[in-house]
Amino acid sequence: MNVTIINDCRDENAKGRQVTRAISLFKCPVSFIRVENDLEAAGNLIDTLDALEENAGVVLVNVAPRNGSGKKWPNGSPFGYFWYKKILVVSSVDGLTLSLIKKFKLCKKIIVLDTRKTLEKFAKEKVIPEELVDYIAKSQFRSYDFLPRVGTYLAKGKKLAGEKLSIEGIPNAPKAIWWIDNFGNFKTTLLSEDLNPPLSRFNLDNGIETKFGKLPYYNRLKEVPDRKVAIITGSSGLGEKRFLEIVVQDVNGSARNKFNASVGDSIFNSPDRKVLGR
């Protein structure tokens, strides 16, 4: 089994503590994906499920707004869990983190946990000492104190009670950039079926209207002419559903430099340039 952590507490101290705690509890390899916001987390969660294929795994995600709407919770967004095939996902439920899980229709419901009730159950079953209940319930670092303990417990085949949240209660994924890779290419939340007409009926000569201009489509990066801006079907995604990317085929340039865009920018013209809530 493998454990993957997706988290915006990503400095070396926070990363090291989370990974060490997870290794000590799960007794298996642990990888860490650094993200800055919930939309980056959403895309990386899909890619992690894809990477695990049919193998067993655990994905621990904690990326949610802490200000603004995040203030409505007693101590940050609650955590919920669901299973996708043999993979356990335990994640913060606020914001856009699970929006692509909804888009890909990977689960119907999420079991949302009450932190204190979960900890009281752990204490009753001797998973943690009684004196840790109040400390963890108020912890400022739940990714370290709470999340891996929940993941370890559930990965053993045990269950935790909670409120059932329909996936329909999760916000829809925006049509936006969710990641900019080291080459400056834009990974978008768009799938071929999101275009009108979809790629299966797309005329290459027409181009795709975007806020970055009318862009041609090519199946692969290799097919894009030098110094040309284009849309391709990228490697990120799950199964037959792969995200579209905006790329520039130029060793001296990139989509990021050409358009000065960032994660959260809409792909199509919209009154709101940003879709991220923070």
* Three-state DSSP state, 221: helix
* Three-state DSSP state, 146: coil
pLDDT above 60: residue 274:
no
Could you report the per-residue pLDDT of 176-221, keeping only the tens digit for each?
999 999 999 999 999 998 887 666 555 656 788 899 999 999 988 8
Could you report the per-residue pLDDT of 83-97, keeping only the tens digit for each?
999 999 999 999 999
Name beta bridge partners: 244.
233
Same domain flag for 39 and 154: yes
The answer as to whether 69 is a domain residue is yes
Radius of gyration of the chain (CA): 20
Same domain flag for 250 and 115: no
Between residues 270 and 264, which one has the greater pLDDT? 264
Overall domain count for the chain: 2
Structure tokens at 120: 């009281």
**CATH number of the domain that 37 lies in?**
3.40.50.10790
Same domain flag for 165 and 216: no
Mean pLDDT of 32-54: 98
The answer as to whether 273 is a domain residue is no
CB atoms within 10 A of CB 34: 15
The answer as to whether 6 is a domain residue is yes
Exposed/middle/buried for 75, CB within 10 Å: 0-12, 13-18, 19+? Answer: middle
The answer as to whether 125 is a domain residue is yes
Average pLDDT, rounded, for the chain: 90
- pLDDT at residue 74, rounded to an integer: 55
Same domain flag for 244 and 132: no
pLDDT above 70: residue 141:
yes
- Domain membership of residue 155 as a residue range: 2-169
pLDDT band at residue 270, thresholds of 50, 70 and 90? low
Q: Which residues of 146-166 are buried (b: 16+ CB within 10 A; e: fewer)?
A: bbbbbbbbbbeeeebebeebe
Question: 65 preceded by cis ω (within 30°)?
Answer: no
What is the C-alpha to C-alpha distance for residues 35 and 45, in angstroms, rounded to an integer?
Answer: 11
- pLDDT at residue 184, rounded to an integer: 93
CA distances from 131 to 17, 24, 144, 176, 224 (A): 21, 21, 17, 45, 61
